[in-house]
Amino acid sequence: MAEPALPAPRLAARGLSRTFSAEAGVHDVDLEIGPGEIHALVGLNGAGKTTLMRLVLGMLRPHSGDTRLDGRDIRAADAQTWTRVGHLVDHPLAYGELDARTNLALAARLHGVPRSRVNDAVERIVADLDLSRYVTIRARNLSQGNRQRLGLAAALLHHPTVIVLDEPTNALDPAGVILLREILLGRARAGAGILVSSHHLDEVARVADRITVVNHGRTIGALDPGGIDIERAFFRLVHADEANQAGGRPG
Partner 1 sequence: MNRAAFTAAIAVESRKTLASRVVITSTVLLVAGIAVLAGSLTWAASTGNEQVLAQMGPMADRTGWDRLMGVVAQVTAAAAVLGFGVTVSWMFGREFTDGTITGLFALPVSRPDIALAKLVIYLAWALVVATVLVLLLGLVGLAIDLGPVTGDVLAALARQHALTGLSAVIAIPAALAATLGRGLLPGIATTIGIVVTAQVVVVAGSGAWFPLAAPALWALEPARVTSTQLALVTVVPVIFVPAILATWRRLQLDR
| Minimal distance, residue 29 CB to partner 1, in Å | 17
* Spatial CB neighbours of 40, under 8 Å, sequence gap ≥ 6: 195, 196, 197, 198, 204, 207, 208, 210, 211, 212, 225
Residue 88 is inside which H or E element, if any? strand 85-88
| Stretch of 95-103, 124-132, 218-226, 229-237 lying at the interface with partner 1 (CB under 8 A) | 95-103
Of residues 56, 64, 62, 127, the one with CA closest to residue 87:
56
Q: Choose between 23 and 224: whose C-beta lies nearer to partner 1.
A: 23
- For partner 1, the binding residue among 11, 16, 26, 60 (CB under 8 A) is 60
Q: How many residues bind partner 1 (CB under 8 A)?
A: 35
Q: Is 90 in the site for partner 1 (CB under 8 A)?
A: yes
Q: Is 149 in the site for partner 1 (CB under 8 A)?
A: no
| Minimal distance, residue 246 CB to partner 1, in Å | 29
Angle between helices 174-189 and 144-156 (to 10 degrees): 10
Sheet holding 11-19, edge to edge: 25-33, 11-19, 64-69, 72-73
Q: Which of residues 174-193 bind partner 1 (CB under 8 A)?
A: none
Q: Which amino acid is at 202?
A: D
Q: Is 72 in the site for partner 1 (CB under 8 A)?
A: no
Q: Is 82 in the site for partner 1 (CB under 8 A)?
A: yes
Question: 36-55 mask for partner 1 (x: CB under 8 A)?
Answer: ------------------x-
Residue 118 is inside which H or E element, if any? helix 118-128
| Minimal distance, residue 84 CB to partner 1, in Å | 9
Q: Is 7 in the site for partner 1 (CB under 8 A)?
A: no
Q: Is 120 in the site for partner 1 (CB under 8 A)?
A: no
How far is 124 from 132, CA to CA, in rounded Å? 10
Q: Which of residues 207-226 bind partner 1 (CB under 8 A)?
A: none
Q: Is 83 in the site for partner 1 (CB under 8 A)?
A: yes
DSSP conformational letter for 187:
H
Residue 189 is inside which H or E element, if any? helix 174-189
Exposure string of 111-133, with b = 16+ CB inside 10 Å and e = fewer, is bebeeeebeebbeebbebbebee
| Minimal distance, residue 236 CB to partner 1, in Å | 33
Q: Is 63 in the site for partner 1 (CB under 8 A)?
A: no
The contact set with partner 1 (CB under 8 A) reads 20, 54, 57-61, 79-80, 82-83, 85, 87-98, 102, 106-107, 109-112, 115, 151, 154, 164
